[in-house]
Amino acid sequence: MDMNMFNKHPLLSGCVAIILMSGLPTSVFAGAAGSVLLAFQTIQSQPYAKDARLVEIKGEKGDPFPNEWSMLLADPTARGGVREIGISNGLITAERTPLRGFTEVANSPVIDSSKLLVDAPALFQAVQAEAVATRVSFHWLDYTLQVPANSLSPVWTVKLYDSLGGLVGTMGISADTGVLAVPMQLAEGVTSETDTKKVGGLVGKVSDLATQTAEKTQDTTLRIIGDLQEFLIGERTIGPGSDK
């Protein structure tokens, strides 16, 4: 691509910038539950937030993301001292105050909001990278965020399952850095796919989606830029022609 051509034609340069920004997808990944950080902000806007302490976030059966984030709070104003909130895309979808089954919640370490920096897409990318490195496939995921004992930083514990619901492995991702906190621990009887060229299951499907999206975006974007270039200056030096 001849970059000098853009300097000679400011209008083309500005149009190209607009096309590039509008043509690129905001994210390859889309989950019904939306942003974890948005879910946390939703909790912070509720009347009980001044008394409640967030101690756990869960998301179950993600493919790759769950339909809802479940936020568990130690709340002295709630009956039983516990409040469980379901949130999807920043909207509260469920709320309950169970009386039993959460006896240890009051003593659980609080999740520091300043250390909750890894949102859903980055979290899944970290899981995907470890699954590829370990060469295991999976079909859905369970996510749990807690502060481990003798620690100040929260960690995402991620469980990977196969298509039949069997546990494939468990791993941990730091919520404030996104780095691997606990290497993949394969479930009993699960082995790496050492005899295959490609990891299957959800991780393979998402890898294919990311690659295909990038390729299609690039090809379409270059074609549009080339059409615009040909219209403005009478020649095409960028991308395939409209007949390709």
Q: How many domains does the chain have?
A: 2
The SS3 call for residue 96 is strand
pLDDT over threshold 90, residue 232: no
Residues 149-192: tens digit of each pLDDT: 888 899 999 999 988 899 999 999 999 999 999 999 999 988 88
**Residues 61 and 142 placed together within one structural domain of the fold:** yes
**Nearest to 126, CA basis, from 191, 64, 38, 47:** 64
pTM of the model: 0.70
Residues 109 and 170 in one domain: yes
Q: Which two tokens stand for residue 205?
A: 């499907």
Statement to judge: residues 102 and 210 lie in one domain:
no
Number of Cβ within a 10 Å radius of residue 66: 21
Asked if residue 210 and residue 181 are part of one domain, the reply reads no
Pair 139, 212 in one domain: no
Res. 11: pLDDT tops 50: no
Query: Token pair of 222, please?
Result: 């270059």
- Check whether residue 235 and residue 179 sit in a common domain: no
Do 81 and 108 fall within a single domain? Answer: yes
Where in the sequence is the domain holding 166, given as residue range(s)?
A: 36-186
> Quick one: 99 and 209 in the same domain?
no
Above 80 in pLDDT, residue 236?
Answer: no
Residue 71 has pLDDT above 50, yes or no: yes
With a CB cutoff of 8 Å and minimum separation 6, the contacts of 159 are 141, 142, 144, 167, 169, 170
Q: What's the pLDDT at 15?
A: 38
Q: Is 22 among the domain residues?
A: no
Interacting residues of 2 by C-beta distance below 8 A, sequence separation 6+: 237
If asked whether residues 85 and 139 sit together in one domain, one would say yes
50 has a pLDDT exceeding 70: yes
Phi-psi region of 144 (alpha: psi -120 to 50; beta: other; left: phi over 0): beta
Q: Are residues 160 and 240 in the same domain?
A: no
**160 in the same domain as 69:** yes
71 and 177 together in one domain: yes
**What is the structure's pLDDT at 14?**
38
Give the pLDDT confidence score for residue 6 in this predicted structure: 38
pLDDT exceeds 50 at position 16:
no
The pLDDT of residue 23? 39
**Residue 215: what pLDDT?**
52
